[in-house]
Amino acid sequence: MATRYRKKQVAARRLLLNAKGELSPDARVLAVELKRICNPRAVLVYDRNGAVDPIGTAAAAATREVWDHFVKLLHLEPFEAVNLREEEQ
Protein backbone atom coordinates (compact mmCIF):
# COMPACT_ATOMS: atom_id res chain seq x y z
CA MET A 1 0.00 0.00 0.00
CA ALA A 2 1.32 3.43 -0.95
CA THR A 3 2.19 5.86 1.78
CA ARG A 4 0.39 9.19 2.08
CA TYR A 5 3.54 11.01 0.95
CA ARG A 6 3.84 8.77 -2.11
CA LYS A 7 0.20 9.46 -3.04
CA LYS A 8 0.84 13.20 -2.79
CA GLN A 9 4.01 12.86 -4.83
CA VAL A 10 2.24 10.93 -7.60
CA ALA A 11 -0.61 13.47 -7.67
CA ALA A 12 1.77 16.44 -7.86
CA ARG A 13 3.83 14.80 -10.61
CA ARG A 14 0.69 14.01 -12.62
CA LEU A 15 -0.46 17.62 -12.39
CA LEU A 16 2.81 19.42 -12.95
CA LEU A 17 5.07 17.26 -15.12
CA ASN A 18 4.81 16.38 -18.79
CA ALA A 19 5.33 12.92 -20.30
CA LYS A 20 9.12 13.45 -20.30
CA GLY A 21 9.13 14.17 -16.56
CA GLU A 22 9.85 17.87 -17.09
CA LEU A 23 7.85 20.75 -15.64
CA SER A 24 4.97 21.67 -17.91
CA PRO A 25 4.92 25.32 -19.09
CA ASP A 26 2.22 26.22 -16.54
CA ALA A 27 4.05 24.39 -13.76
CA ARG A 28 7.24 26.27 -14.66
CA VAL A 29 5.39 29.58 -14.16
CA LEU A 30 4.21 28.42 -10.73
CA ALA A 31 7.63 27.06 -9.79
CA VAL A 32 9.37 30.33 -10.69
CA GLU A 33 6.87 32.27 -8.58
CA LEU A 34 7.21 29.86 -5.65
CA LYS A 35 10.99 30.08 -5.87
CA ARG A 36 10.80 33.88 -5.87
CA ILE A 37 8.53 33.96 -2.83
CA CYS A 38 10.46 31.32 -0.87
CA ASN A 39 13.90 32.76 -1.72
CA PRO A 40 15.73 29.48 -1.17
CA ARG A 41 19.12 31.24 -1.04
CA ALA A 42 18.29 33.20 2.14
CA VAL A 43 19.95 31.58 5.14
CA LEU A 44 20.43 34.41 7.61
CA VAL A 45 18.39 37.60 7.83
CA TYR A 46 19.96 40.72 9.27
CA ASP A 47 18.31 43.71 10.92
CA ARG A 48 19.11 47.37 10.21
CA ASN A 49 22.05 47.30 12.60
CA GLY A 50 23.67 44.35 10.86
CA ALA A 51 22.86 41.86 13.61
CA VAL A 52 21.24 38.51 12.83
CA ASP A 53 17.46 38.76 13.14
CA PRO A 54 16.36 35.47 14.77
CA ILE A 55 12.70 35.85 13.84
CA GLY A 56 13.51 36.81 10.27
CA THR A 57 15.95 33.94 10.02
CA ALA A 58 13.31 31.50 11.32
CA ALA A 59 10.81 32.83 8.77
CA ALA A 60 13.39 32.44 5.99
CA ALA A 61 14.05 28.87 7.11
CA ALA A 62 10.32 28.11 7.04
CA THR A 63 9.90 29.42 3.49
CA ARG A 64 13.04 27.54 2.47
CA GLU A 65 11.40 24.39 3.83
CA VAL A 66 8.39 24.98 1.55
CA TRP A 67 10.67 25.25 -1.48
CA ASP A 68 12.65 22.16 -0.49
CA HIS A 69 9.42 20.19 -0.05
CA PHE A 70 8.21 21.28 -3.50
CA VAL A 71 11.50 20.20 -5.11
CA LYS A 72 11.46 16.89 -3.23
CA LEU A 73 7.80 16.23 -4.02
CA LEU A 74 8.39 16.64 -7.75
CA HIS A 75 11.83 15.03 -7.59
CA LEU A 76 13.27 17.91 -9.61
CA GLU A 77 16.85 17.68 -10.77
CA PRO A 78 19.06 20.13 -8.84
CA PHE A 79 20.10 21.79 -12.12
CA GLU A 80 16.47 22.39 -13.07
CA ALA A 81 15.51 23.76 -9.66
CA VAL A 82 18.49 26.12 -9.49
CA ASN A 83 18.02 27.45 -13.02
CA LEU A 84 14.34 28.43 -12.82
CA ARG A 85 14.15 32.06 -13.91
CA GLU A 86 11.36 34.45 -14.83
CA GLU A 87 12.99 35.36 -18.15
CA GLU A 88 12.33 31.84 -19.44
CA GLN A 89 8.57 32.17 -19.22
User: Tens digits of per-residue pLDDT, 22-77?
Assistant: 899 999 999 999 888 888 887 888 999 999 999 999 999 999 999 999 999 898 88
Task: Supply the pLDDT for residue 85.
Answer: 79
Q: Is 84 helix (H, G, I), strand (E, B) or coil?
A: coil
pTM of the complete model? 0.76
Predicted confidence band of residue 87 (pLDDT cuts 50, 70, 90): low
Predicted confidence band of residue 79 (pLDDT cuts 50, 70, 90): confident
Q: Is 46 helix (H, G, I), strand (E, B) or coil?
A: strand
Query: 67 and 35 in contact (C-beta within 8 Å)?
Result: yes
* CA-based torsion, 37, 39, 73, 26: positive or negative: positive
Residue 89, pLDDT > 80, answer: no
Task: Supply the pLDDT for residue 41.
Answer: 80
Amino acid letter, residue 19: A
